[in-house]
Structure 1
């Protein structure tokens, strides 16, 4: 029904805040990967098993219809946050192994630019050329998307 659909959308949009209220005072790490739809069930299972293995708490949600999903991990500072970082890295690695992408919709940013060369290979050179043509002074969001040429 339209009412049920509205309630489901509202629950999806409130998932982050529900986690914040469930685990107050923590740092919240949101992951963003996408995989081919045929790999989605296994990838979501992998994320849950990995979260359990690393002793992390959080939610899994997303845009399952296009292969994009997120985990929101509620981590305490210190070792738990380091485990959340490892969790995020392992999710990206698995997504790339499955023919997916390191970033489904939220952009590359500082944490994921190290995966650009692996994901895009020689196309990264073309991306750098386009960036240089559009931003010859290097002032538009410097260092946030493309890794340094020396780094890959």
Structure 2
């Protein structure tokens, strides 16, 4: 696998992840682009607590206005907290909120079935009547669990 293949795999996995997320309450069905930036921002804030919107924008490559919007959505959902920077009161620091937000709890409650559905659709051959092979679905699921175990940051890591 080369860098291009790895990049394309990452993009494919992001799209599958977006498919597997349940629609937020009051959603319009057209939130994938916004969800992508919110998830990217949430991940950056989790990895860099007590950060600013500008620093998050710089690390993620997202426009500052998009990061600000994502932080506002995350704050409304109870996933992050904001506070003035004690060293420079003009700056606002963003950190993960303690505990699990209602939105994260809803995504987790949806369980793995949404992920399995998205994977099955991605693995379905050109003849949809055949469907995804159960053994293939299980193999891909195990491979993704292995990658997540080694590559996805966990608390305290």
TM-score (ref. length: structure 1): 0.25
